Amino acid sequence: MTASETRPLTAVRSFPPGFLWGTATAAYQIEGAAREDGRTPSIWDTFSHTPGKVFEGHTGDVAVDHYHRFPEDVRLMSELGLGAYRFSVSWSRVQPTGRGPAVQKGLDFYRRLVDELLAAGVAPALTLYHWDLPQELEDAGGWPERATAERFAEYAGLVADALGDRVKHWITLNEPWCSAFLGYASGVHAPGRTDPVAALRAAHHLNLGHGLAVQALRAALPRDGRVAVSLNLHEVRPLTPSAADREAARRIDAVGNRIWLGPMLEGAYPDDLLADTAQLTDWSFVRDGDTAAAHQPLDLLAVNYYTPTVVSRAAEGSAVPQDDGHGASEHSPWPGAEGVAFHRAPGERTAMGWPVDADALYELLTRTAARYPGLPLVVSENGAAYEDEVGPDGTVHDPLRAAYVHDHLDAVHRAIADGVDVRGYFLWSLLDNFEWSYGYAKRFGAVHVDYETLERTPKSSARWYARVARSGELHAPPS
């Protein structure tokens, strides 16, 4: 049952004053200009140019050309009444080798973007890392190596020195689970490695890199700078109430959620995670003081949510399906969770095949708030891909996306009404764009992009979301 079925669509819900209404993007998905102004390849440049890795050989070389068209995109944000824009910085555009001084032309692009946003009344929210590690750092070992965490902190300081006087909202990492486990375990994301031990090492160094970056940000930012991390926390549900299925859910919660929450927010890895993975590693790569370094005070916890995760213990002797909604692979992205089967919930699905379940977002927010009282939350990504088409009149009508966003905003409102401190919502995504290994085949954007002409056309869901953002009230979605 969706939220819109439990409460009348005609009931208007008001969000708190100051609630941040935004949208989000990532550098490699939208910028293009892959070889301009000193930028060098990232792991996603290499991965997308490797035959067979990305749908139909699509790459982000041009993407939607935001690098040259950002003034037009900022005007769109202003026209849509958005109060905030979450974007990421391309590490290899700012620091091409991942070492040494910044390239000023790279920083100048982000300076111009931030100035344009501020002039339009849109608050910039900057993500330092959204999966595009400089290839030179990957060649030196990538996230499985401790040095990458140290380089990340240096990079964070460079960006903060350049933009800290104008950017108040900072996010260190976006979805480190994807970086570690899709990149180094299942291989469906860059750099495409399939080594579960390397993935666990990567997870630790992402935790460490986060903590070191927070320290670098605190040293460089004014006192009013706000620092967060963005985690794709899994709302894990056992298929049945059986002990076996509950044990399967515990394992996924350990390697999906608590592998980040433990070090970042509690200062230690959970004992059950270490036990689950003991057959793979003794975790000797964790040095004294590492988890204390990862455990830095945060101003916000940013949460990304799209769909719940439903699991069970696999039947004895059966092949465990590896397509868990994150891309098919013969290699599991869940080290220590062998023997766990994944299931798609019944009911409506998006074009990604992901079940639509807004109640799971409510449950995720309330559960996280109960575990970490006093830590404000923000929904830093939420949205859906659908098969959008441009109509004969040139418009794009996408009622399914509007209904999806409506129901998830209703879930956020319910959480707030129940006492959860949720400060904002960022719709994924502003623009149709390069959707990682799916190339340009999946459209998440509120704004349609013609990939031949790069013309932008706001969809009907964008116009509806603009009304919500301007009024702070959740109106019924268009049908």
Question: Which residues participate in catalysis according to the annotation?
Answer: 175, 381
CA angle 338, 190, 354 (to 5 degrees): 60
Separation of alpha carbons 126 and 431, rounded Å: 17
Spatial CA neighbour of 47 closest among 144, 189, 146:
189
DSSP state, 242?
S
- The DSSP-derived string for 257-276 is IIHHHIIIIISS--HHHHHH
Helices (H) and strands (E) in the chain, counts: 18, 15
**Residues in Cβ contact with 17 at an 8 Å cutoff, skipping those fewer than 6 apart:** 472
Separation of alpha carbons 300 and 426, rounded Å: 14
DSSP state, 256?
I
- The DSSP-derived string for 316-364 is TTPPPP--SSS---SS-S-TT-TTEEEEPPSS-B-TTSPBP-HHHHHHH
Separation of alpha carbons 107 and 96, rounded Å: 12
Separation of alpha carbons 171 and 304, rounded Å: 13
> Any idea which residue has 């608590």 for tokens?
258
Upper half-sphere CA count for residue 28 (Cβ side, 13 Å): 27
SS3 233: coil
Spatial CA neighbour of 147 closest among 102, 209, 215:
209
Spatial CA neighbour of 230 closest among 299, 284, 132, 159:
299
Separation of alpha carbons 405 and 412, rounded Å: 10
Mark residue 287 as left, alpha or beta (left: phi above 0; alpha: psi -120 to 50; beta: remaining): beta
